[in-house]
């Protein structure tokens, strides 16, 4: 199995997250806050939430996010959680619900609750082992499991004098998901040049500058390489990635912008 970390927390509502989720609208998620904080709405009689962290390699290019490289984590992480669910069903005779980016639950908030990491100033969950370079999946079960030891504090461990992510974001979008470059590269409406700031798909700027992440040398991918790419070329190079959900036309559109 890949280098995955599992943590477990209770399935009680995340009452402390309600106001924050109401105050900060986020793209591509339901506006029904109760379904984001209450596992019992995803699985009746939910008792425990198993949170999985699957690390990924940082993107080697600065204008294509890490989503554009490696296998689609939705497939990999779901397969890992399906395997875990089978073990729990066999041992506890329980029902299970799996979520990998496609459900309602606030995955990052449950990752913090389970002790996978802490909230970084950039809004990412930062793991002592992986930094912020990991994807999150949830396995909700209606059985009581041994809960993981939480972190000493759920407060951010970002140094008071570190504001690298705030200073590096070209759109001053930290804490404002609807202003994020990554959102603008993925939305259906055609973005402006000011909205995508030279990024082709996604954006990792606030992760790249973070001291908790190992820095990697990055180069920009040529716009001509994208503009000359056929749909068949795209499917060969990126069809296995999470970026494929938007497809060739979306990437071409952003390169043209």
> Which parts of the chain sit beneath pLDDT 70?
1-2, 152-155, 215-217
pLDDT at 257: 93
Write the pLDDT tens digit of every residue in 93-107. Answer: 999 999 999 899 999
Helical (H) or strand (E) element with 28:
none
DSSP 134: E
- Both structure tokens of 98: 């799996």
pLDDT digits (tens, 9 = 90+) for 68-91: 887 899 999 999 999 999 999 999
The answer to whether the beta carbons of residues 139 and 6 sit under 8 Å apart is no
Q: What is residue 215's predicted lDDT score, i.e. its pLDDT?
A: 62
Strand partners, 127: 131
The full 3-state SS of 61-86, as one line of letters, equals ECCECHHHCCCCHHHHHHHHHHHHHH
Supply the residues annotated as catalytic: 101
Distance between CA 77 and CA 81 in Å, rounded? 6
Domain boundaries, the chain: 5-141, 164-256
**Beta bridge mates, 7:** 51
Q: What is the C-alpha to C-alpha distance for residues 253 and 192, in angstroms, rounded to an integer?
A: 11
Task: Classify 175 in phi/psi space as left (phi over 0), alpha (psi -120 to 50) or beta.
Answer: left
What is the pLDDT, as a whole number, of residue 217? Answer: 65
Q: Give Cα 235 distance to the centre of its chain.
A: 23
What is this structure's pTM?
A: 0.91
Structure tokens at 9: 């927390």
Residue 13 zone, left/alpha/beta (φ > 0; ψ -120 to 50; rest): beta
Distances (CA, A) of 172 to 2, 111, 194: 35, 25, 12
Give residue 157's pLDDT. Answer: 86
**Structure-block tokens of residue 87:** 């073990």
With vertex at residue 41, the alpha carbon angle to CA 35 and CA 46, rounded to the nearest 5 degrees, is 125
Give phi and psi for 40, each to the nearest 5.
-65, -20
Q: Which two tokens stand for residue 206?
A: 């606030």
Residue identified by tokens 């559109």 is 253
């Amino acid at each position: 199995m890949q280098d995955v970390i599992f943590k477990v927390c209770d399935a009680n509502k995340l009452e402390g997250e309600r106001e924050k989720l109401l105050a900060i609208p986020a793209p591509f998620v339901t506006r029904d806050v109760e379904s984001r904080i209450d596992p019992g709405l995803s699985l009746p009689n939910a008792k425990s939430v198993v949170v999985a962290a699957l690390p990924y390699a940082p993107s080697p290019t600065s204008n294509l996010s890490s989503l554009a490289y490696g296998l689609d984590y939705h497939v990999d992480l779901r397969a890992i959680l399906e395997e875990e669910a089978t073990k729990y069903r066999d041992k506890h005779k329980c029902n299970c619900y799996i979520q990998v980016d496609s459900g309602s639950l606030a995955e990052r908030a449950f990752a913090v609750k389970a002790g996978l990491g802490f909230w970084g100033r950039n809004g990412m969950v930062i793991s002592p082992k992986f930094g912020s370079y990991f994807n999150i999946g949830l396995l909700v079960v209606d059985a009581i499991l041994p809960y993981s030891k939480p972190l000493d504090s759920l407060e951010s461990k970002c140094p008071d004098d570190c504001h690298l992510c705030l200073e590096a974001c070209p759109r001053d979008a930290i804490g404002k998901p609807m202003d994020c470059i990554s959102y603008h590269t993925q939305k259906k409406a055609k973005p402006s040049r000011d909205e995508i700031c030279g990024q082709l798909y996604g954006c990792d700027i606030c992760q790249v500058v973070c001291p908790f992440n190992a820095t990697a040398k990055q180069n920009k991918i040529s716009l001509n390489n994208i503009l000359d790419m056929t749909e068949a070329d795209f499917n060969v190079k990126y069809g296995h990635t999470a970026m494929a959900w938007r497809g060739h036309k979306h990437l071409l559109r952003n390169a043209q912008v």
